[in-house]
């Protein structure tokens, strides 16, 4: 029975002090610090006990029975009034009793190692085996102190050797606590051997895993190495968590695509698994795979073949546009009979504001197709159509591939908006890139540079829009079926405003028919006096302006309903912007009215001519284009050839200068349509015969005085009608075009067909 001694106690948490260990502790509690200072004054011994669980009061039951008697080698007082203590563990001891009232003191009895039941031969075998195991552990765990093996060879005590190994081996706290509690040397030896064998095996397995990983990656790929090591460990443990690659493969299984496409995507997924996670190359590859998985390779939506319903939707959304609606219904009928989803590429050409874009959306609704809009206005880079090659940083798919990805199906309606606005530069010809897209013979294997896999566009219904056919490159123009969306008449604008625009603006501005009313006379006055356009965009803005002012009036003045009529319209829109030019309807010398077509609709041109003494010079002003200048010179040449008929002096053209001017000089003008108008104005100025102010004309002139046909007649006749001109001279060869114009436009119009300048002068010159 060992002697029972009273020693100051140091209580530790999550720590076990084995004999032979040297450790540092920071002591905060004043009682413990005082006990340690007393111990220093005596023999310097303290007892270190491990606490089972945190408790308010230290009792024998709250501590592990076996602890260690330690010698205080050094104690230092810190600035925060705590103490830093260095302890050297000497021997095991068992707690007999605990006194925590006046300080932390315990009564303990030492538990010396008893090796009497082990004979000399067995003890020597145990020591040798322990040392061999420890050397094996040192070889697989280089971090263990090498001098520990030398110290072990100097002692013949089995218990001390076991404790020394436990002290110098990085073991968990629980394992060290268990070894501390084993007072029987044989039991402690057997447990230590088991622990060492386990540590050696774990270390060897870990080394094997490291070697396997190193065969796959270089030393610089530390992040990848850690991930591979973790995956290898999980596989050794029988765990196989769902990886990112597996998630991508699961998505691939759900993808509706051909075997060739799936094989390509699977190859890219396998390549991703070999790349360093988090690296830039892996990020690029991951984005590429996600793009491929989002593409609708063989996924299609079910289209509607109900012609009656389609007609109802088109009539509901748009007033007029009979030719457009008729062509769409024809397309639907043919597709229903053939069972094919593709079709011709339709191009809607017309002035701004005539509803080309909204027609495309209505077509999509009528056919129950997904709708995608691709804006081509200002596109200069070919890569925006075909995509960037993946060798470039920041590469991405082109607008066509992106449109398909956005639609989610391979048979959407894709609107190519403003196809006449594409341009070319050093980065490539954008219009040429569109040729493959819009060629039904080629687009079944359209290749986007980024996607890299042929994309089938044959099921896509392409609808293009443009303001001017002349601005579309000829090869592109030939691949499309042209449908003209021409200017609206005043009557059409009235119906559009009444049936569509008013409802739309009411909803947009929080109004209803109970709060605001705009009568028919007011709508007609807005069209005639506040707008002058081919479409209805400005008309919609004016209606919106009325709605906003009405909303303010309702809230500010607490008015129940606002009524707008032709008399109070100026209160909402201000003074009239456009007026009938009555003064221009008077007969004047040297002034003739021409008709012109512009991308924004028809317009009238007032051509003025002055004759001045000079040297035979011809001055052309008003920003005329080359074609218009040539028409002016051709008209003058014709007049010189018939000078005798009009009794013009032979030397008139040598002694006088001719100045031809078209007002609104800031606006560029070109085209041959003003040929007969300029010739008429010049002849009037020379002969002093007035030109009828109630007449307008259009037509190209030749040197021999023939009148050639021109285009854009619907817009031109509408322009004349809008300014109150009801007599129009039109080339004879344009008669079939006039017959195609609706009766509403031709109503009250006196259209005179002319084939030569003789007929023109007969109708245009007054009192001839």
Q: Which residues are catalytic?
A: 673, 716
**H and E: helices and strands count for the chain:** 29, 26
CB under 8 Å to 124, separation ≥6 — which residues?
Answer: none
- Asked whether the beta carbons of 681 and 687 are under 8 A apart, the reply is no
Instruction: Give per-residue burial for 581-605: e unless 16+ CB within 10 Å, then b.
Output: eeebbebbbbbbbbbbbbbbbbbbb
Place of tokens 């028409």: 631
- Asked whether the beta carbons of 373 and 415 are under 8 A apart, the reply is yes
Which residues are registered as beta bridge partners of 608?
A: 591, 661
Dist CA 267 CA 288 (whole Å)? 12
Structure tokens at 751: 């259209």
- Asked whether the beta carbons of 736 and 621 are under 8 A apart, the reply is no
Whole-Å CA distances, 467 to 25, 306, 349, 748: 87, 31, 5, 29
Dist CA 309 CA 304 (whole Å)? 9
- Asked whether the beta carbons of 130 and 193 are under 8 A apart, the reply is yes
Region of 558 (left: φ > 0; alpha: ψ -120 to 50; beta: rest) is left
Handedness of CA 336, 339, 342, 343 (dihedral sign): negative
CB under 8 Å to 3, separation ≥6 — which residues?
Answer: 109, 110
Helix (H) / strand (E) element for 122: namely helix 120-140
What φ, ψ does residue 594 adopt, rounded to 5°? -105, 170
Whole-Å CA distances, 339 to 302, 332, 437, 494: 12, 10, 22, 40
Dist CA 221 CA 277 (whole Å)? 10
Dist CA 494 CA 498 (whole Å)? 6
Strands, DSSP E only, in 651-732? 656-661, 695-697, 700-701, 707-708, 727-731
SS3 66: strand
Q: What is the DSSP string of 600-654?
A: TEEEEEEEEEEEEESSS-EEEESSB-HHHHHHHHHHHHHHHHTTTTTT--TTHHH
* Nearest Cα residue to 607 out of 657, 660, 668: 660
**H helices of 237-277, where?**
244-254, 259-273
Which residues are registered as beta bridge partners of 88?
A: 22, 71
Antiparallel, parallel or unpaired: β 428-429 and 424-425: antiparallel
**Secondary-structure breakdown of the chain: helix, strand, coil percentages, each rounded to the nearest 5:** 45, 20, 35
* Nearest Cα residue to 271 out of 258, 288, 257: 288
């Amino acid at each position: 029975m060992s002697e029972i001694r009273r020693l100051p106690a140091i209580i530790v948490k999550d720590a076990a002090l084995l004999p032979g260990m040297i450790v540092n502790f920071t002591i905060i509690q004043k009682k413990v610090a005082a006990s340690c200072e007393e111990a220093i004054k005596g023999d310097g011994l303290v007892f270190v006990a491990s606490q089972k669980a945190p408790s308010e009061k230290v009792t024998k039951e709250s501590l592990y029975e076996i602890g260690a008697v330690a010698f205080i080698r050094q104690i230092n007082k810190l600035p925060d009034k705590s103490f830093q203590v260095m302890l050297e563990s000497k021997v095991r001891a068992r707690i007999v009793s605990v006194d925590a009232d006046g300080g932390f003191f315990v009564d303990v009895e030492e538990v010396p190692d008893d090796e009497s039941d082990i004979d000399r031969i067995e003890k020597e075998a145990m020591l040798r085996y322990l040392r061999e195991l420890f050397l094996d552990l040192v070889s697989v765990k280089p971090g263990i102190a090498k001098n520990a093996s030398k110290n072990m060879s100097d002692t013949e005590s089995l218990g001390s050797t076991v404790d020394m190994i436990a002290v110098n081996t990085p073991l968990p706290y629980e394992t060290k606590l268990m070894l501390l509690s084993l007072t029987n040397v044989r039991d402690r030896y057997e447990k230590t051997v088991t622990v060492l064998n386990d540590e050696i095996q774990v270390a060897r397995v870990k080394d094997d895993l490291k070697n396997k990983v190193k065969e796959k990656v270089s030393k610089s790929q530390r992040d990848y190495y850690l991930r591979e090591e973790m995956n290898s460990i999980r596989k050794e443990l029988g765990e196989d968590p769902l990886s990112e690659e597996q998630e991508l493969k699961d998505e691939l299984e759900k993808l509706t695509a051909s075997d060739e496409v799936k094989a390509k995507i699977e190859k890219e997924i396998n390549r991703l698994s070999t790349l360093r996670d988090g690296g830039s190359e892996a990020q690029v590859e991951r984005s590429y795979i996600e793009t491929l998985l989002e593409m609708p390779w063989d996924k299609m939506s079910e289209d509607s073949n109900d012609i009656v319903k389609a007609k109802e939707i088109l009539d509901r959304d748009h007033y007029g546009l009979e030719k457009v609606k008729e062509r769409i219904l024809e397309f639907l009928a043919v597709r229903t009979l053939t069972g094919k989803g593709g079709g011709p590429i339709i191009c809607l050409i017309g002035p701004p504001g005539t509803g080309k874009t909204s027609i495309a959306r209505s077509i999509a609704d009528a056919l129950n197709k997904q709708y995608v809009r691709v804006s081509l206005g200002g596109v200069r880079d070919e890569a925006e159509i075909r995509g960037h090659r993946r060798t470039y940083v920041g590469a991405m798919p082109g607008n066509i591939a992106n449109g398909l990805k956005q639609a989610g199906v391979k048979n959407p309606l894709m609107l190519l908006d403003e196809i006449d606005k594409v341009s070319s530069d050093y980065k490539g010809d954008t219009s040429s890139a569109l040729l493959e897209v819009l060629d039904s013979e080629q687009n079944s294997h359209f290749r986007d540079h980024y996607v890299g896999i042929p994309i089938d566009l044959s099921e896509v219904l392409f609808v293009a829009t443009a303001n001017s056919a002349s601005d579309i490159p000829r090869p592109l123009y030939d691949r499309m079926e042209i449908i003209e969306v021409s200017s609206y008449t005043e009557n059409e604008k009235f119906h559009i405003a009444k049936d569509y625009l008013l409802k739309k603006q009411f909803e947009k501005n929080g109004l209803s028919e109970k709060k605001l009313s705009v009568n028919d006379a007011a709508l007609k006055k807005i069209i005639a006096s506040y707008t002058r356009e081919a479409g209805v965009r400005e008309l919609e803005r004016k209606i919106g302006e009325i709605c906003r002012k009405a909303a303010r009036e309702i809230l500010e003045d607490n008015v129940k309903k606002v009524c707008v009529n032709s008399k109070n319209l100026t209160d909402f829109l201000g003074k009239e912007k456009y007026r009938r030019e009555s003064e221009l309807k008077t007969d004047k010398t040297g002034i003739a009215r021409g008709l012109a077509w512009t991308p924004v609709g028809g317009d009238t041109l007032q051509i003025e001519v002055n004759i001045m003494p000079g040297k035979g010079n011809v001055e052309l002003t008003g920003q005329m284009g080359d074609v218009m200048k040539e028409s002016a010179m051709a008209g003058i040449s014709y007049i010189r050839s018939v000078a005798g008929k009009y009794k013009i002096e032979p030397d008139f053209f040598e002694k006088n200068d001719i100045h031809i001017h078209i007002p609104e000089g800031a606006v560029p003008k070109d085209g041959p349509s003003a040929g007969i108008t300029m010739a008429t104005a010049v002849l009037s100025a020379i002969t002093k015969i007035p030109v009828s102010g109630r007449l307008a004309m259009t037509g190209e002139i030749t040197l021999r005085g023939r009148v050639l046909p021109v285009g854009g007649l619907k817009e031109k006749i509408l322009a004349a009608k809008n300014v109150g001109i009801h007599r129009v001279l039109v080339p004879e060869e344009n008669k079939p075009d006039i017959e195609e114009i609706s009766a509403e436009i031709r109503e009250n119009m006196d259209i005179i067909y002319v084939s030569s300048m003789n007929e023109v002068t007969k109708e245009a010159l007054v009192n001839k």
